[in-house]
Chain A
Amino acid sequence: AQTVTQSQPEMSVQEAETVTLSCTYDTSESDYYLFWYKQPPSRQMILVIRQEAYKQQNATENRFSVNFQKAAKSFSLKISDSQLGDAAMYFCAYFSGSARQLTFGSGTQLTVLP
């Protein structure tokens, strides 16, 4: 079974600064996707960024980028120029090619300080 570990329950960052959220995972599969989701108090999971395991190039979406280290099974999220609206719970998730389901980490609560 796949596992996803987020070792930082809470993080804080000054507005306009950069923050990196960590995620590691364990799998024996070769075909999978990795995701970062944002969950504000409204509870709705919002997709931030995705990474295909077969792609070596790190995904980027505007101020959000990942550092995907496949051999190390590491998938960190970097948020540049942090904004107050970035404050939320962030979940790292693994999508299994065989099981067709998402496995989530325990989350990192991000606070953005004005």
Chain B
Amino acid sequence: GAGVSQTPSNKVTEKGKYVELRCDPISGHTALYWYRQSLGQGPEFLIYFQGTGAADDSGLPNDRFFAVRPEGSVSTLKIQRTERGDSAVYLCASSPKGGLNTEAFFGQGTRLTVV
């Protein structure tokens, strides 16, 4: 596609439920990032994929959060046993290589609300 696509745009779920957030990066981009943006704050790093593997998952807050990218393109962020504190906008970005001199292109995010 022309840009990074994230679905759904908005998701409301009940506390304790499981959710999946999807990211379709720009075709051919090998690097993919997930960020979480709480209300009134800047995005915070969650995880970085280079190809199919998670090169850095140090930002995942706990073991309820997991992300996959099985074929090196689409990625899914999975959250188990959701809590109200998980409410935020989840942003995905991709870049051609992930190096210093490569721009990251962002999607419009998924706004997750846990009630």
Give A residues with C-beta under 8 Å from B: 4, 31-33, 37, 42-47, 50, 52, 91, 93, 95, 97, 99-107
**Cα distance A33–B42 in the bound complex, in angstroms:** 17
Contact of B107 among A32, A44, A93, A103 (CB under 8 A): A44
Contact B45 A32 (CB under 8 A): no
Instruction: Tell me, yes or no, whether B41 is within 8 Å of chain A by CB.
Output: yes
Which residues of B in the span 31-56 have a Cβ within 8 Å of any Cβ on A? 31, 33, 35, 40-45, 48, 55-56
Contact B42 A104 (CB under 8 A): yes
Contact B108 A43 (CB under 8 A): yes
**Cα distance A107–B38 in the bound complex, in angstroms:** 12
Contact A44 B109 (CB under 8 A): yes
> Contacts A31-B100, A100-B98 known; A107 to B41 CB distance under 8 Å?
yes
**Cα distance A42–B91 in the bound complex, in angstroms:** 12
Chain A residues with CB below 8 A from B42, complex form:
4, 91, 93, 104-107
Chain B residues with CB below 8 A from A31, complex form:
100
Instruction: Tell me, yes or no, whether B59 is within 8 Å of chain A by CB.
Output: yes
Q: Which of B40, B45, B100 has the most CB of A within 10 A?
A: B100
Instruction: Tell me, yes or no, whether B104 is within 8 Å of chain A by CB.
Output: yes
**Cα distance A9–B45 in the bound complex, in angstroms:** 21
Instruction: Tell me, yes or no, whether B20 is within 8 Å of chain A by CB.
Output: no
Chain A residues with CB below 8 A from B23, complex form:
none
Chain A residues with CB below 8 A from B44, complex form:
104
Contact B45 A101 (CB under 8 A): yes
**Cα distance A100–B95 in the bound complex, in angstroms:** 11
> Contacts A44-B109, A45-B91 known; A100 to B56 CB distance under 8 Å?
yes
Give min CB distance, A71 to chain B, whole Å.
Answer: 21
Contact of A43 among B40, B59, B89 (CB under 8 A): B89
Give min CB distance, A5 to chain B, whole Å.
Answer: 11
Contact B100 A97 (CB under 8 A): yes
Which residues of B in the span 71-114 have a Cβ within 8 Å of any Cβ on A? 89, 91, 93, 98-101, 103-104, 106-109, 111
